Amino acid sequence: MRCAFEVHRIFNCGIMSPMSNTPNINGLGQVALTVSNLNRSIAFYKDVVGLPFLFQAGPTLAFFKCGDTRLMLGMPENDFKPGSSTVLYFKVDDIHSAAAALEAKGVTFSDEFKPHLITKMANHDLWMCFFYDPDQHLLALMAEMPKSI
Tell me how far CA of residue 99 lies from CA of 34, 37, 57, 107, 115, in angstroms.
Answer: 24, 25, 31, 9, 7
Residue-averaged pLDDT of the chain: 83
Question: How does DSSP assign 69-106, residue by residue?
Answer: EEEEEE---TT--SS-S-EEEEE-S-HHHHHHHHHHTT
Which candidate, 143, 119, 141, places its Cα nearest to that of 130? 141
108-123 pLDDT per residue, tens? 888 888 999 999 888 9
How far from each other are the two terminal CA atoms of the chain, in whole angstroms?
63
Domain ranges of the chain: 23-145
Is residue 52 predicted with pLDDT exceeding 60? yes
Is residue 9 predicted with pLDDT exceeding 50? no
Q: Please tell me whether the overall predicted TM-score, pTM, comes out greater than 0.75 for this model.
A: no
* Per-residue pLDDT band at 18 (split at 50, 70, 90): low
Q: Sheet with 125-132: list strands edge to edge.
A: 87-91, 138-145, 125-132, 116-120
Q: Which CATH superfamily is domain 23-145 in?
A: 2,3-Dihydroxybiphenyl 1,2-Dioxygenase, domain 1 (3.10.180.10)
Tell me how far CA of residue 5 lies from CA of 2, 11, 12, in angstroms.
Answer: 5, 10, 10
